[in-house]
């Protein structure tokens, strides 16, 4: 199935010079972003049927994250744009969904604030690390956090009782688990940042002072 999808995509009339950007994984990622306008229907406080439809679209979009990653690895189509666009698409979809559910009382605003602040903080830490020539490995806690956020948001989107379950209650419980993982993974990133970047700078400063002190003694 994946091979067929790749062959069909390769037949599209895309100029060769643009295929590095508009490859199959990146196209899947960009299509995932197309779900965001649909999420704004949440502001209408939709009923059971519409809530379920929006939730299904959200879940499909989340699953395409697995698909584009698999395609990129299988066909060795890993690009700088893909590395940049993929995580941004995930955060945009999840964070937009959470923000839009605040006005209709499906999610507490303070939880959304903590999650978004954590994302900005981690992105800042990564940017500083890259500028220093260091790479902080992705935390397994961060991956679990994302997974729990998707489960929580999906259930909160459904909101109404579904196949015998209180979807809102289930989503709320999972959301609190996601919150704990969000804070814990954020602390984990900061500790890695401190060990790799801050300590390195402190060590370089101390070495410089020792070197200068040695020169002065020799003078």
At 215, the pLDDT band (50, 70, 90 cuts) reads: very low
Count CB atoms within 10 A of the CB of residue 190.
Answer: 15
Same domain, 86 and 129: no
Full residue range of the structural domain in which residue 121 is found:
106-219
More confident residue, 140 or 163: 163
Over 70: is that where the pLDDT of 210 sits?
no
* Full-model pTM: 0.81
Looking at 105, 133, 149, the residue that finishes a domain is 105
| CATH code: domain of residue 78 | 1.20.120.1760
The secondary structure of residue 197, as a DSSP letter, is I
Structure tokens at 88: 């941004």
Same domain, 120 and 161: yes
**Cα 136–chain centre separation:** 15
Q: How far apart are CA 175 and CA 112, in angstroms?
A: 10
CA atoms within 13 A on the CB side of 137: 4
Q: How far apart are CA 128 and CA 217, in angstroms?
A: 36
pLDDT in tens, 172-204: 999 999 999 999 999 988 888 887 766 666 555
pLDDT at site 24: 78
More confident residue, 156 or 78: 156
Same domain, 25 and 122: no
Same domain, 113 and 27: no
Number of domains in the chain: 2
The mean per-residue pLDDT over the stretch 82-91 comes to 79
């Amino acid at each position: 199935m994946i091979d067929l999808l790749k062959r069909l995509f390769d037949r599209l009339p895309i100029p060769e010079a643009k295929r590095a950007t508009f490859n199959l994984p990146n196209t899947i990622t960009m299509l995932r972003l197309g779900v965001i306008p649909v999420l704004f229907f949440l502001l209408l406080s939709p009923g059971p049927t519409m809530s379920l439809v929006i939730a299904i679209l959200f879940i499909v979009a989340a699953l395409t994250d697995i698909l584009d990653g698999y395609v990129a690895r299988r066909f060795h189509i890993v690009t700088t744009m893909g590395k940049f666009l993929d995580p941004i698409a995930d955060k945009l979809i999840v964070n937009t969904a959470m923000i839009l559910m605040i006005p209709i009382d499906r999610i507490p605003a303070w939880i959304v604030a903590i999650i978004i602040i954590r994302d900005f903080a981690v992105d800042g830490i990564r940017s500083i690390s890259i500028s220093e020539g260091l790479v902080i490995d992705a935390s397994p806690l961060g991956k679990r956090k994302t997974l729990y956020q998707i489960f929580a948001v999906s259930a909160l989107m459904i909101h109404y009782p579904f196949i015998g379950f209180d979807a809102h209650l289930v989503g709320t419980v999972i959301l609190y688990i996601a919150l704990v993982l969000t804070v814990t993974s954020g602390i984990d990133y900061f500790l890695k940042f401190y060990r790799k970047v801050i300590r390195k700078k402190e060590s370089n400063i101390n070495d410089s002072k020792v070197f200068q002190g040695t020169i002065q003694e020799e003078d």
